[in-house]
Amino acid sequence: MRVFFMGTPQLAVPVLKSIIQSKHEVVLVVTQPDKPVGRQLKIGASPIKLLALSEGLPVIQPVTMKDEDFRKKLEELKPDIGVVFAYGKILPQWLLDLPRHGVINVHASLLPRWRGAAPIQRAIMAGDKVTGTTIMQVVKELDAGDILLQKEIEISPQDTAETLALRISDASAVLMVEALDRIEAGTITPRKQEESGITYAEKITDADLEINWDNSADNIINQIRGLNPKPGAHTHFDETLLKVWWVAKAPEIKKQGEPGTIVHIDKHNGPYVATTTDALLLVEVQPANRKKMGGAEFIRGYRLKVGDKLGFRGQGPGARV
């Protein structure tokens, strides 16, 4: 089939690669306009654009879906189907109606669970043990189209949003080619999403980033894993924003204090912080404008002591007591 592909980030690269290597023909790659990246704010191309150019594929980067040149280009190409993965814009009805097989999408969850913008992060933050990938028909309503294929993927206790995204992306690449083959052969049967299972993965906001130490150790761990590596969960110490990249439960620390209080100092491993359940060892942190560091280095650099507090306590930043 003649396929046009729409995507932007690295997450979508394995899926485009798999289509390029299949029997199907990629006739056009659509990706977001180049943007400033890095500290130098140099204009950079998206990972999908870089792959497309390296493969000699035509690329178009419309600023808006109302771009008439973009529409004319697609109409001239007469594609059989469109494939979308993490493109980043709502698609207009004319585009969905243009290919004879419509447009299909990769969604990084087992729909109807976690429709929306941040399915990978929200699945980890909610403590889900299983998620997956779904190939679905794109319709006007967000992530509400018929399901074509799905594959379950286990979420391990060590998974971050980054590691889970990589496995979902790889699984999606295989599943997408199977979907294209079966659509062409007419052997795929779409099924409606179950209304009873719908949940929404809202976009990550600043309110999601602050660690609430008045929470269980498990919930805090899930929050930190779900926000790693972007944008990162954080707390505050001595008016300094402290990103927390990794923690570990420490049930052996029996002495508990007010949530957010450092209840034990291990100079070889790091500080232990009270929650509403188990204490948590700060394994890897990053004070503002500093590099990432282990918990032991954090102790030495900031001279922590038992009784110091992390986080907002309703009266301003955490502080020594």
244 pLDDT exceeds 60?
yes
Q: What is the pTM of this model?
A: 0.92
d(CA 167, CA 11): 10
Looking at residue 243, its pLDDT comes to 97
pLDDT band at residue 315, thresholds of 50, 70 and 90?
very low
Poorest-pLDDT segment among 216-220, 227-231, 250-254? 250-254
Among the listed residues 119, 61, 71, 117, the one whose alpha carbon sits nearest the alpha carbon of residue 92: 71
Looking at residue 312, its pLDDT comes to 63
35 pLDDT exceeds 90?
no
Give Cα 104 to chain centroid, integer Å: 20
Selected residue with higher pLDDT from 198 and 89: 198
Looking at residue 317, its pLDDT comes to 39
Tell me how far CA of residue 269 lies from CA of 117, 194, 259, in angstroms: 36, 47, 20
Mean pLDDT along residues 236-259: 89
Q: What is the pLDDT of residues 76-94, one digit of tens each?
A: 999 999 999 999 888 999 9
Residue 52 amino acid letter: A
Mean pLDDT along residues 50-56: 97
76, exposed or middle or buried, with CB in 10 Å at 0-12, 13-18, 19+?
exposed
For residue 265, how many other CB atoms are within 10 A of its CB?
Answer: 16
151, exposed or middle or buried, with CB in 10 Å at 0-12, 13-18, 19+?
middle
Q: Which two tokens stand for residue 275?
A: 């929650």
Looking at residue 206, its pLDDT comes to 94
Q: Which two tokens stand for residue 321?
A: 């007591």
For helices 161-185 and 13-20, the axis angle rounded to 10 degrees is 30
Q: What is the largest CA-CA distance in the chain?
A: 71
Looking at residue 316, its pLDDT comes to 40
DSSP state for residue 37 in the 8-state scheme: E
83 within 8 A of 19, measured Cβ to Cβ: yes
Looking at residue 37, its pLDDT comes to 76
d(CA 48, CA 19): 13
Mean pLDDT along residues 253-270: 90
Mean pLDDT along residues 33-61: 89
Quote the mean pLDDT of the chain.
93
Give Cα 248 to chain centroid, integer Å: 22
Tell me how far CA of residue 142 lies from CA of 104, 111, 136, 198, 275, in angstroms: 13, 11, 11, 12, 37
Poorest-pLDDT segment among 33-37, 140-144, 229-233, 266-270? 33-37
- Tell me the β-bridge partners of 5: 29, 83
Q: What is the pLDDT of residues 87-113, one digit of tens each?
A: 988 899 999 999 999 999 999 999 999
65 within 8 A of 86, measured Cβ to Cβ: no
313 pLDDT exceeds 70?
no
For residue 157, how many other CB atoms are within 10 A of its CB?
Answer: 9
Q: What is the pLDDT of residues 181-193, one digit of tens each?
A: 999 999 999 999 9
- Tell me the β-bridge partners of 134: 107, 150
Q: Which two tokens stand for residue 262?
A: 């450092």
In the block, tokens 């761990």 appear at 221
CB burial of 191-215 (b: ≥16 within 10 Å; e: otherwise) equals: eebeeeeebebeebeeebbebebeb
166 pLDDT exceeds 50?
yes
